[in-house]
Structure 1
Amino acid sequence: MNSEIRLRKAQIDEKEKIWNILQQAIERRRQDGSSQWQQGYPNADTVESDISKGFGYVLTVNDEIAVYAALILNDEPAYSTIEGAWLSNGEFVVVHRVAVDAKFAGKGMVKKLFDHIEEFTCSHGIQSVKVDTNFDNTAMLRILESKGYSYCGEVFLAGGVRKAFEKIII
């Protein structure tokens, strides 16, 4: 059976479902021994803010939400200061708050998410995708490596140091 997978903007009436997915991800990070997302961020207000600003996106499988992510154009103040160097200074898409529903965990959904983000980036004529993650988020680090993202250095975000990556799309 072929699943229909698509990326679309999240709707405000989906905020409870999305917050539930983020809570699952927060708990998985905790069980993995990570400090990422363990200080009350992201939270339900973050989700509502993302959606109302048009940053909230969902990857759906047969219309069921599998992954949530915030996609922000050209706007991440923390990225203006990097210990290291970005690959480019052009327009970029920032990927934040990637969370997979437990039902879809371990099925390569985040790689599919990045495929869709890269298509979105290209179709909007945007130069690159920038993303950061915690040092101890081995799952995301492996995904970024497998998708060809380059390690650019460190950024300071949400009270901690993060590894920063970029991939030139066009």
Structure 2
Amino acid sequence: MEIRKSRMADLPEILKLYEEARAFMQETGNGTQWGTSYPPVEQVETDIREEKSYVCEEDGRLAGVFYFSEGPDPDYAEIYEGSWMGSGDYDVMHRVAAPGRVKGAGSFCIRWCAEHSRRDLRIDTHRNNLPMQHVLEKNGFTRCGIIYLANGEERLAFEFLPKDI
């Protein structure tokens, strides 16, 4: 598998990946995190234009997509029922979709971000997203507490420290 920056030409296939991921979330008891339309097309286009969207490819076929960028993320300014482990700058990973087209693509994407982050790496997920929580913990992330998105929704916060690679 390989990771590369997303291109606008990838948009139709990226949207299919997100659609498949939403269906998987519904099937595994996490129907509310992304609902039926997250992320919106405009968000995905912005991620691509800003060169913060990446795809995972195997044999020319897209297996996953994710957002990776330098922090800070305003949603991570406050953490509750715990604390961040790192004390400095961090990178963020969001909108991970690896809906099972290629076994292990989700872990591959997460490990790639951990290896390419020059500092701490933070990510969050819904309390009901048990598959993502499992993949994060399997790949060395530690659950640090709870954050709240700008819209007030709760998310479980995870962090990976570079020394853990």
TM-score in same-fold range (> 0.5)? yes
Figure out how many residues of one structure are paired with residues of the other and give that number: 160
- Distance (Å, rounded) in 2 between the aligned partners of 1:88 and 1:134: 22
1:17-96 alignment runs, 5 A limit: 17-34=13-30, 35-38=32-35, 40-83=37-80, 84-96=82-94
1:7 aligns with 2:3: yes
Gaps of 5+ in 2: none
**1-structure distance, mates of 2:86, 2:100:** 35
Query: Offset at 1:14?
Result: 0.8
Q: How far off is 1:71 after superposition?
A: 0.5
Deviation of 1:48 after TM superposition, in Å, equals 0.5
Q: Cα gap change, 1:139/1:101 in structure 2, threshold over 3 Å: closer, same or farther?
A: closer
Output the CA distance in 2 between the equivalents of 1:142 and 1:9: 26
> Residue 41 of structure 1: CA displacement?
2.4
**Paired residues of 2:56 and 2:64 also in contact (CA < 8 A):** yes
The code of the aligned residue for 1:48 comes to E
SS of the residue 1:72 aligns to: strand
Identity of aligned residues (%): 28
Contact 1:6 1:116 in 2 (8 A): no
Once the two structures are TM-superposed, the CA of residue 23 in structure 1 deviates from its matched residue by 1.0
Secondary structure of the structure 1 residue equivalent to 2:20: helix
Q: CA deviation at 1:33?
A: 2.4
Cα shift readout 1:133-156 (whole Å, capped 9, x = no counterpart): 011111111111111111110011
2:111 maps to amino acid: D
Moved over 3 A (4+): none
Give the Cα separation in 1 of the matches to 2:119 and 2:36: 33
Structure 1: tracts of 5 or more residues without a match: none
- State the match for 2:145 in structure 1: 153
- Supply the distance in 2 between the matched residues of 1:66 and 1:135 (Cα, whole angstroms): 24
Match of 2:120 in 1: 128
**Aligned Cα RMSD in Å?**
1.5
With normalisation by structure 1, the TM-score equals 0.87
How far off is 1:39 after superposition? 6.0
Please state whether the residue corresponding to 1:165 is helix, strand or coil: strand
Q: Distance in 1 between matches of 2:92 and 2:127?
A: 18
Counterpart CA distance in 2 for 1:68 and 1:39 is 17
| Alignment check: 8 A CA contact 1:21 1:102 kept | no
Distance (Å, rounded) in 2 between the aligned partners of 1:60 and 1:74: 25
